[in-house]
Amino acid sequence: MTSITVVIPVLNDSPMLENALTCLAAQLRPADEIVVVDNGSTDDSASIASAAGVRVISQPTTGIWPAASAGYDAARGDIIARIDADSRPPVDWLMHIEAEFTDSPDVGVLTGPGDFYDGNGLVTLLGQYLYIGGYFWAISLWLGNPPVFGSNFAMKREVWSEVRSRVHSTMRSIHDDLDLSMHLPMDAVVRLDDTLRVGISARPFASWSSLGRRLGWAYLTLRLHWPEQTPWRRHIARLRRAEQDEGLTGAA
């Protein structure tokens, strides 16, 4: 039977983390393991996680990417699922993930969007269509496949094992979701499922500096991968890979 580990990086976010863990405790298909990565919290995040009976590991190097990658490395499940401390997965979230990977064994990575549960109506509307929708649209064009959304995705453990040495997980000021997406194998099947949804906070839009910081991470990540990961180079690489696959099929 497939096992699932849920990874949650956290830094001084105990009220949100407690809500996320409550949502996970209510799953119709329970997680086999929950790993909370304490990224140097000075609040009671770690004790909240321990009280919930989940596994807590420490990553003193601050930054989402160092924390998330430490969680992926520690995960024991066949599937590594990821949410953030402010995510609120519905009760069928893990059931949905397990069903997708079972019904489509070729899928290596599964991701979905988020729905804002706080913030005013205009902010959440713009965030839904420009921030999240724009991310999936623009980066899908760049990559040739959907990117992962860190608040709501899952990948097979072997996918992480293949890319972990190639990603820039020690860098604090880049976009971890985007960096991971850039380094996924060309033959990995990445599925964007609009019905796989989680609640997320509108905190990125709380201030211009908060939003600007996240956009800056995305810019730095794209610049880091230029020119090796430009859209045209990725397109050429995909064509060559397809030709190789056709050649192998014909030879067989």
* CA distances to 16, 85, 150, 187 from 203, in Å: 12, 12, 15, 35
Residue 250 pLDDT more than 60? no
More confident residue, 100 or 219: 100
> Which long-range contacts link 120-129 to residues 24+ away (Cβ below 8 Å)?
123/202, 123/205, 124/202, 126/205, 127/202, 127/204, 127/205
Q: In percent, how much of the chain has pLDDT > 70?
A: 95
Q: Which domains does the chain have, with CATH numbers?
A: 4-251 (3.90.550.10)
8 Å CB contact between 154 and 97: yes
What is the pLDDT confidence band of residue 245, given thresholds at 50, 70 and 90?
low
Residue 206 backbone phi and psi in degrees, to 5 = -65, -25
What are the C-alpha distances in Å from 206 to residues 73, 201, 213?
Answer: 32, 10, 12
pLDDT in tens, 19-71: 999 999 999 999 999 999 999 999 999 999 999 999 999 999 999 999 999 99
Look at residue 240 in the predicted model and tell me its pLDDT.
Answer: 75
Provide the mean pLDDT of the chain.
92
Share above pLDDT 90 across residues of the chain, in percent, rounded to a whole number = 71
pTM of the model: 0.92
Q: What is the pLDDT of residue 249?
A: 55
pLDDT at 233: 83
Sheet strands (E) in the chain: 4-10, 33-38, 55-58, 79-82, 107-111, 114-116, 153-156, 189-192, 198-200
Quick check: 244 pLDDT over 90? Answer: no
pLDDT digits (tens, 9 = 90+) for 193-242: 999 999 999 887 777 777 777 778 788 888 888 888 888 888 887 777 66
pLDDT, mean of residues 179-198: 95
- Range among 67-76, 127-136, 208-217, 240-249 rated most confident: 67-76
pLDDT of residue 86: 96
pLDDT value of residue 186: 86
